[in-house]
Amino acid sequence: DGGITQSPKYLFRKEGQNVTLSCEQNLNHDAMYWYRQDPGQGLRLIYYSQIVNDFQKGDIAEGYSVSREKKESFPLTVTSAQKNPTAFYLCASSTSTGQGWTEAFFGQGTRLTVV
C-alpha cells in the first residue's frame, strides 16, 4: 500500500540529546513537510522540501535540522538547541501535477517527550 510512514510512534529523549524522527513515503511525491503540533495549537511548519537535496525553513526551524538525500525520505533531527521539543510531529508529502501541487498526505505522527 502506498503511504507515508513515520517512526517511531512514541519517542522519549533525555535533555541535551539529539534525536532523529523518520519519515518515509512510497507515493513518489516530490514535496515533503514537517509540522509540529502543541496542545491546543495548530500545525506549525518546521521545514519543507520540494526536490531532493533542497529544503527550506518554515516558521519554527530553530533547533531542528533536516536532509533530503532521497526522494522517499525526509528525516527530522531535533537537536539539543531546541528549547522545548516535547510535541507531536507530523510529516506530510504532496506532488505536483500540471495543475499545481496536490493535497497533502500525512503520516501517523511521532509524539516526542523530553524526560
Residue ranges binding another protein (CB under 8 A): 4, 33, 35, 41-45, 48, 50, 56, 58-59, 90, 92, 94, 99-109
Closer residue to another protein in complex, CB, 22/50: 50
Closer residue to another protein in complex, CB, 75/105: 105
CB-based contacts of 33, cutoff 8 Å, min separation 6: 45, 47, 48, 49, 58, 74, 91, 92, 93, 94, 104
Report the nearest approach of another protein to the CB of residue 93 (Å).
11
Question: Is the bond preceding 75 in cis, omega lying within 30 degrees of 0?
Answer: no
Closer residue to another protein in complex, CB, 20/56: 56
Report the nearest approach of another protein to the CB of residue 68 (Å).
14
Report the nearest approach of another protein to the CB of residue 99 (Å).
8
Cα torsion 51, 107, 10, 64: sign: positive
* Cα–Cα distance for residue pair 49/18, rounded to 1 Å: 21
